[in-house]
């Protein structure tokens, strides 16, 4: 663990990616505290370009874009954390059980995994969102998580399958440990680094999913998000009016966060896998 | 090989059944009453006329028979190609509306998927183990693959469409024209097609390039590559072997990415008001046209399943192990 931390702090990709994410997270957490206005309040002159007072300018209705951006970051991190977390938990559970139990359980879970895998997730989410009418970010994250786990389950199953027949697992079984304990104490720690990388990828995937849904206009109705900002910008023809400060920040924010996650992922891979380390 | 295809077909068939069942299930068992919502939308003030209207709608939706029969009816209607009547373009049948939009979506998807896959693989393979190229391709690839499709679309539409005025930014062709097979129309449609295509191509390209680069590096460190190098094989030949081996995971990756690519096409179409399936989805949502929305959903599922099947066939052609029943078929 300590060697990993040592290499993590020396890895430029990990440190750089982490710094970007931390910066956005702090911005999202802190910036909205300094104002009494909500993100959708009409506070300034309409369609004003970025200035000292309104850092990112204002919308055609006079909403402060910086404020919307900072609040949108909160939704982005929330949906990434929850959506990625739910997908990771479901995928790991199914992968562990299928890989460890084998037999008919494995067959059934594998079939389920393959079905959800080929089912185009966004199309299902569109149908679900339209009929249910998502109101909050956690609800959106729940649905995203429920449809983005299959590749995790597949990978975890494959690794569990190969770990299951190792001697130390046999030993644990002989000493009478229960299957759940074996999975938790013997199998999962052996792939903990892989699970962390998986969660990072799921986090990024959830953020992109949520942005897509918000952009179509199916996002949470009760809060602002980066995808919704882009939706508003396009809907109120910011492109034709030349209000570039309306649609550039939200997309840039998503790209920076997801890109930083990917880069951090590569860096962590180098940290955990000595073969990949640059000496 | 038969086992391989048999298994794959079974999965696709089950997926289709699940999709249809979901499609039937969601409107009926979700909170909220679509019939009631339609009634409120038509805002009838007279309570006496509400009852016959409700009866009419329930009849149209086929809600007046037991559930199991509704389910069977749904299947039989579906297999006859009947997906209901569009509310938005009343009284056009949903199937017709969708069939008119499908060519536009395919015209975007097929070239962008194929070209980005081919170009991404080539560039990624070139970048592996070449310092200066790697240092440009890798960061660019990460930025592109992290970009939300619609944002790149918006940026392209704004910069190349509005600021520089090179390309039109809305519609599938100019409103002054009628679809026909003339040079003028095709040229016009091409200029409308180019920007959505470009944004789809660029985002997908980044992902493939990174994937290929990593796979080639992995392959070049494999035992067979080291062995060939020790024998004094030209580097070019070793790289070619590595490339061919790396193609297989990339092909599997293509199958896995299909859903994401289709999703990207949908939002890109919305940005450019391109008259494909994505545009239909937006209209269906805004007009509460549930039949149309569900029809589009089924079409997307069918399309993705067909594409998966085609990739499976290609996989068998390029990977001899699947033909001889050895390992590799599970990928």
What's A83's domain CATH number?
A: 1.10.3720.10
- Alpha-carbon dihedral A249, A251, A254, A258, rounded to 10 degrees: -130
Q: Which of the residues in chain A have pLDDT under 50?
A: 279
Residues of B in contact with A130 (CB under 8 A): 285, 290, 293
Residue B91: is the preceding peptide bond cis (ω within 30°)?
A: yes
Identify the DSSP state of B157.
Answer: I
What distance in Å separates the CA atoms of residue B85 and residue B296, rounded to the nearest whole number?
13
Count the neighbouring beta carbons within 10 Å of the beta carbon of residue A238: 23
Residue A24's region, left for phi above 0, alpha for psi from -120 to 50, else beta, is: alpha
Q: With respect to residue A32, please indicate whether it lies within any of the assigned structural domains.
A: no
Count the neighbouring beta carbons within 10 Å of the beta carbon of residue A4: 12
CA distance A240 to chain B (A): 7
Determine the residue among B141, B146, B292, B301 to mutate to test chain A binding: the one whose Cβ has the most chain A Cβ atoms within 10 Å: B146
Q: With respect to residue A234, please indicate whether it lies within any of the assigned structural domains.
A: yes
Fold designation for B102-330: MetI-like fold (1.10.3720)
The three-state secondary structure class of B93 is strand
CA distance A193 to chain B (A): 19
CA distance A98 to chain B (A): 16
Closest partner residue to A216 among B32, B155, B267, by Cβ?
B267
In this prediction, residue B328 carries a pLDDT of 44
- Alpha-carbon dihedral A26, A27, A30, A36, rounded to 10 degrees: -160
Identify the DSSP state of B80.
Answer: T
As for how many domains chain A has, the answer is 1
- What residue in A sits closest to B261 (Cα-Cα)? A120
Q: With respect to residue A47, please indicate whether it lies within any of the assigned structural domains.
A: no
What distance in Å separates the CA atoms of residue B5 and residue B322, rounded to the nearest whole number?
10
Residues of A in contact with B169 (CB under 8 A): 239
Q: With respect to residue A136, please indicate whether it lies within any of the assigned structural domains.
A: yes
In this prediction, residue A38 carries a pLDDT of 78
Cβ–Cβ below 8 Å for B18 and A115: yes
Q: What burial letters (b/e) apply to A243-274, b meaning 16+ CB within 10 Å?
A: bbbbbbbbbebbbbbbbbbbbbbbbbbbbbee
In this prediction, residue A279 carries a pLDDT of 45
Contacts by residues B318-321 (CB-CB < 8 Å, ≥ 24 positions apart): B318/B247, B318/B248, B318/B251, B319/B248
Residue B179's region, left for phi above 0, alpha for psi from -120 to 50, else beta, is: beta
Domain spans in chain B, listed from the N-terminal domain onward: 102-330
pLDDT (tens digit per residue) in A125-152: 888 888 777 778 898 999 999 999 999 9
Cβ–Cβ below 8 Å for B32 and A132: yes
Residue A230's nearest CA partner among A82, A75, A124, A80 is A75
The three-state secondary structure class of A102 is coil
Q: With respect to residue A129, please indicate whether it lies within any of the assigned structural domains.
A: yes
Q: Which of the residues in chain B have pLDDT under 50?
A: 327-331
Cβ–Cβ below 8 Å for B301 and A114: no
In this prediction, residue A269 carries a pLDDT of 85
Q: With respect to residue A45, please indicate whether it lies within any of the assigned structural domains.
A: no
User: What domain range is A183 assigned to?
Assistant: 18-26+67-272
- What residue in A sits closest to B30 (Cα-Cα)? A132
Q: With respect to residue A155, please indicate whether it lies within any of the assigned structural domains.
A: yes
Q: With respect to residue A220, please indicate whether it lies within any of the assigned structural domains.
A: yes
Q: Is A43 on the interface with B (CB under 8 A)?
A: no
- The sign one gets for the Cα dihedral A105, A110, A115, A121 is positive
Q: Is A244 on the interface with B (CB under 8 A)?
A: yes
pLDDT (tens digit per residue) in B281-312: 888 888 877 788 888 999 999 999 999 999 98
Cβ–Cβ below 8 Å for A230 and B267: no
In this prediction, residue B331 carries a pLDDT of 39
Say what the pTM is. Answer: 0.87
For chain A positions 79-138, those within 8 Å of chain B (CB to CB) are 111, 114-115, 117-124, 126-128, 130-133
């Amino acid at each position: 663990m300590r060697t990993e931390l040592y290499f993590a702090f020396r890895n430029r990709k990990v440190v750089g990616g982490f710094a970007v994410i931390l910066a956005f997270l702090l911005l999202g957490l802190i910036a909205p505290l300094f104002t009494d206005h909500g993100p959708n309040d009409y506070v300034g002159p309409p369609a004003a370009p970025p200035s000292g007072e309104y850092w990112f300018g204002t919308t055609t209705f006079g909403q402060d874009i910086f404020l919307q951006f900072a609040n949108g970051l909160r939704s982005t991190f929330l949906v990434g954390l929850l959506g990625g977390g739910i997908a990771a938990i479901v995928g790991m559970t199914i992968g562990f059980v299928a890989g460890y139990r084998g037999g008919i359980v494995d067959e059934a879970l594998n079939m389920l995994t393959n079905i959800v895998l080929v089912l185009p997730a966004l199309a299902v989410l569109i149908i679900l969102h339209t009929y249910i009418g998502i109101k909050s970010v956690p609800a959106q994250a729940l649905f995203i998580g429920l449809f983005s786990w299959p590749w995790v389950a597949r990978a975890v199953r494959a690794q569990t399958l190969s770990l299951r027949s190792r001697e130390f697992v046999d030993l644990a079984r002989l000493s009478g440990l229960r299957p759940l304990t074996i999975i938790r104490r013997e199998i999962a720690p052996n792939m903990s680094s892989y699970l962390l990388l998986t969660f990072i990828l799921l986090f990024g995937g959830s953020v992109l999913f949520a942005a897509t849904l918000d952009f179509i206009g199916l996002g949470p109705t009760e809060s602002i998000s980066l995808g919704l900002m882009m939706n508003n910008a396009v809907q109120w023809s910011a492109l034709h009016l030349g209000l570039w400060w309306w649609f550039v920040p939200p997309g840039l924010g998503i790209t920076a966060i997801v890109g930083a996650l990917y880069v951090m992922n590569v860096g962590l891979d180098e940290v955990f896998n000595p073969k990949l380390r640059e000496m | 090989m038969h086992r391989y295809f048999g298994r794959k077909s079974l999965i696709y068939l089950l997926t289709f059944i699940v999709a249809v069942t979901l499609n039937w299930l969601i409107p009926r068992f979700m909170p909220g009453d679509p019939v009631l919502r339609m009634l409120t939308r038509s805002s009838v003030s007279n309570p006496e006329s509400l009852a016959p209207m409700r009866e009419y709608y329930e009849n149209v939706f086929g809600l007046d028979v037991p559930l199991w029969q509704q389910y069977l009816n749904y299947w039989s209607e579906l297999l006859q190609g009947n997906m209901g009547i569009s509310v938005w373009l009343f009284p056009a049948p949903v199937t017709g509306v969708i069939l008119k939009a499908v060519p536009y979506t395919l015209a975007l998807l097929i070239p962008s998927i194929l070209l980005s896959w081919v170009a991404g693989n080539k560039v990624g393979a070139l970048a592996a183990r070449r310092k200066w190229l790697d240092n440009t391709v890798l960061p660019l690839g990460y930025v592109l693959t992290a970009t939300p499709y619609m944002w790149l679309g918006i940026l392209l539409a704004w910069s190349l469409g509005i600021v520089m005025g090179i390309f039109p930014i809305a519609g599938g062709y100019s409103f002054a024209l009628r679809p026909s097979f003339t040079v003028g129309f095709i040229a016009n449609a091409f200029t409308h097609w180019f920007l959505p295509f470009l944004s789809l191509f660029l985002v997908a390209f980044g992902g493939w390039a990174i994937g290929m680069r990593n796979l080639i590096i992995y392959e070049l460190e494999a035992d067979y590559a080291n062995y060939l190098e020790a024998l004094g094989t030209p580097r070019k030949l070793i790289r070619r072997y590595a490339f061919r081996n790396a193609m297989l995971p990339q092909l599997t990756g293509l199958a896995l990415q299909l859903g994401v690519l289709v999703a990207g096409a949908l939002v890109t179409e919305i940005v450019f008001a391109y008259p494909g399936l994505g545009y239909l989805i937006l209209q269906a949502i805004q007009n509460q046209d549930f039949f149309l929305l569900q029809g589009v959903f089924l079409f997307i599922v069918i399309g993705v399943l067909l594409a998966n099947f085609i990739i499976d066939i290609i996989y068998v052609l390029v990977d001899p192990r699947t033909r001889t029943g050895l390992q590799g078929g599970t990928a």
